Structure 1
Amino acid sequence: MRTPFSVKPTLTGERVTLRPFEDADLEAMRSALADPEVRRLTGSPPDEPFDDARLREWYGSRNAQTDRLDLAVVDRERGVCVGEAVLNLWDPENRACNFRILIGPDGRDRGLGTEATRLIVGYGFERLGLHRVSLEVYATNPRARRAYEKAGFVAEGLLRDALRDGGSWVDATVMSILAPEWARHGGRPEVGR
């Protein structure tokens, strides 16, 4: 069955290109997913071993998925994959989905995540006809929360003690952006006011 997520676009910004995964991206994703900070900020178990066959199967199957959109985040300056941007948990009845992004150490602190967020969320609203895109961000990841806010996501609520991080509990903030908000500011709420 053909769905809006059957098409895997290439989206180009000033700093990043989002494109379907290629075999050459596997090493970059393995490296990003093995990074201790990435593992902590995404809530992944810190000592969970990587199964290369499973990783290869996962990223090798992303382009065939019809109920989600997984794109490689490529740093245009260096031409290398630095992470992934994903629209998943699609709810066709409510024209809604979840968003998540992972940027490895090679892509941090240069605005790549913010631009990648704007590109894929904009595609979701402008091309896929979504009404709502939501996410959860852990309190230990203020850098990600700021990137989401820059792209227009609004905090909706708090999931208390949502993650065990070492010896303590961490809250998660539920955030979303709606199509009318995107139409008003295009992912730049500081400009659209």
Structure 2
Amino acid sequence: MSEPFDAQSVGSRLLQGHRVRFRELRDEDLPVLVRWWQNPDTVLFQNLTVAPRPEETIAEMFRSWSTNASSGNVGFSVVDRHTDELLGHVVLYGAALPVRAGTFAVMIGADHVNRGYGTDAVRLMTDFGFRELGLNRIELRVFAYNERARAVYRKIGYREEGVRREVAFHAGVFHDEVVMSLLAREWFTAEH
């Protein structure tokens, strides 16, 4: 006989990790997220090229990622679980039946890296994708030179499955992009 379903307990755990929690995007988040997105050091890890974009264009991008109008596209602000300080943003997009696969992206503000927030945010969004959205596969793309992010993804359980050769161009050099993925059965059989 299965355990009774405790909806309150499940609901509170869905969007809360050890160090971070996810919440809706708020208007006051946008200036900070825009500033981080415009930081060349951040853009170098997020985009194929480093080119300034209008603030409103970037703000609208975050808004569109965070409407949560369908279960196939969800985005959240990442905040410190204890202080509610904005740390970054996560999005899981492109999930649709019958494939049940989604693509994941995360941005943590430069002031908050190397503190475990990114690892917790990746773990939490991965768990949300499998447990709440019923995905079978989550994939992501990361530039080969972003060793820190690749190490975090591997630590969570993502596997490198391919390389898109020379897709980014920075500082006069072409760079590869690594495709990584994790399957639901791998997630549920691993220790977290």
Structure 2 length-normalised TM: 0.85
* Pairing partner for 2:93 from 85, 88, 94: 88
Partner in structure 2 of residue 159 of structure 1: 164
In the alignment, the residues of structure 1 paired with residue 14 and residue 183 of structure 2 have an alpha-carbon distance, to the nearest angstrom, of: 23
Partner in structure 2 of residue 41 of structure 1: 45
Partner in structure 2 of residue 59 of structure 1: 62
Once the two structures are superposed, residues 89-122 of structure 1 have per-residue CA deviations (whole angstroms, 9 ceiling, x without a partner) of 2232111110111111122111111100110110
In the alignment, the residues of structure 2 paired with residue 36 and residue 55 of structure 1 have an alpha-carbon distance, to the nearest angstrom, of: 14
Q: CA deviation at 1:72?
A: 0.6
2:34–2:55 CA contact under 8 A, matched in 1: no
Q: Structure 2: where are the runs of 5+ without partners?
A: 1-12
Q: Percent identity?
A: 33
In the alignment, the residues of structure 1 paired with residue 170 and residue 96 of structure 2 have an alpha-carbon distance, to the nearest angstrom, of: 30
RMSD: 1.8
Once the two structures are superposed, residues 33-80 of structure 1 have per-residue CA deviations (whole angstroms, 9 ceiling, x without a partner) of 01111101112532323232x334343442253230011111235422
Partner in structure 2 of residue 124 of structure 1: 129
1:160 partner amino acid:
R
1:125–1:131 CA contact under 8 A, matched in 2: yes
Please say which of residues 58-67 and 130-139 is displaced more in the overlay. 58-67
Partner in structure 2 of residue 25 of structure 1: 29
Partner in structure 1 of residue 74 of structure 2: 69
* Pairing partner for 2:112 from 92, 96, 107: 107
1:35–1:104 CA contact under 8 A, matched in 2: no
1:30 partner amino acid:
V
Structure 1 length-normalised TM: 0.85
Once the two structures are superposed, residues 109-164 of structure 1 have per-residue CA deviations (whole angstroms, 9 ceiling, x without a partner) of 11111100110110111121110000111012111111111111001111111211
In 2 relative to 1, CA 64–154 (structure 1 residues): closer, same or farther, beyond 3 Å?
Answer: closer
